[in-house]
Amino acid sequence: MWCIRLQFLEHVRSRHANFTSWHNLVREIKSAATARAWPDVVDRSADSTRQDGSLFTEDALANLDIEQAYDQELGEESHFTFLLRDSASFSRSKIEGLIGCYPFESLQAAVDILFLRGSSDLVVAKQAIFVYYLFDRHWSRPEEEWRDIVDDFATSFGINRHSLVESFILCLLDNHTDEALQESFQLLPEISGPTTHPKIARVLLER
């Protein structure tokens, strides 16, 4: 209903010229993250699945992938999955995993992939990824064109400011530009504390 009310953002301009340019940008920032990453001097165990230089969005989607695969093994696949059977987005998620689906091809694809599969227990994590997607889609465009959309989503689904700012900071820190890094500096004091994810400090030090 939220997507329908906002007409799936069809009339809200993205900062990306098209899906291909966005996809190429994600590959570029992934390459930059890999190039600057420090060797993992803490965990060198053979069974470690951690990847140096992973993006925050990759980590989040990888966690969803693991949990959703577990749910489906237990037979808890969503009753709404039939809506995805013929979609290109669903096919990509099956072949490449959730990480391979980012950036999502459209708002509808984002909603389908995140919310029409897997456990409802993960809804908070899914909302955080969706907010990240909205910021990634619009950041650097004039705020009056898009900020009310993010705020409306947060209000509609009870997302507090801390979570909203945290998703924005993770999006900014994934971005490899100095402009994004400087903007993250302005916001970091709002979320800094004992619960701040240690990877944020690591990425800041790498940068």
Q: What is the pLDDT of residue 90?
A: 53
Do 60 and 128 touch, CB atoms closer than 8 A?
Answer: yes
Calculate the alpha carbon distances from 158 to 149, 152, 155 in Å: 14, 10, 5
Q: What is the pLDDT of residue 80?
A: 54
Task: Evaluate if residue 109 carries a pLDDT over 50.
Answer: yes
Q: What does the block give as tokens for 128? A: 């955080």
pLDDT band at 48 (very low <50, low <70, confident <90, very high): very low
Q: Specify the pTM.
A: 0.85
Q: Residues, the chain, total?
A: 207
Mean pLDDT, the chain, as a whole number? 85
Do 101 and 116 touch, CB atoms closer than 8 A?
Answer: no
Round to whole Å and give the CA distance between 56 and 70: 22
Round to whole Å and give the CA distance between 73 and 206: 38
Round to whole Å and give the CA distance between 18 and 65: 26
Higher pLDDT, 100 or 201: 201
pLDDT band at 96 (very low <50, low <70, confident <90, very high): low
Q: What is the pLDDT of residue 68?
A: 56
pLDDT band at 74 (very low <50, low <70, confident <90, very high): very low
pLDDT band at 70 (very low <50, low <70, confident <90, very high): very low
The candidate with the shortest Cα–Cα distance to 58, out of 19, 26, 28, is 26
Percent of the chain with pLDDT over 70: 79
Q: Which of 61-70, 122-131, 152-161, 162-171 has the lowest mean pLDDT?
A: 61-70
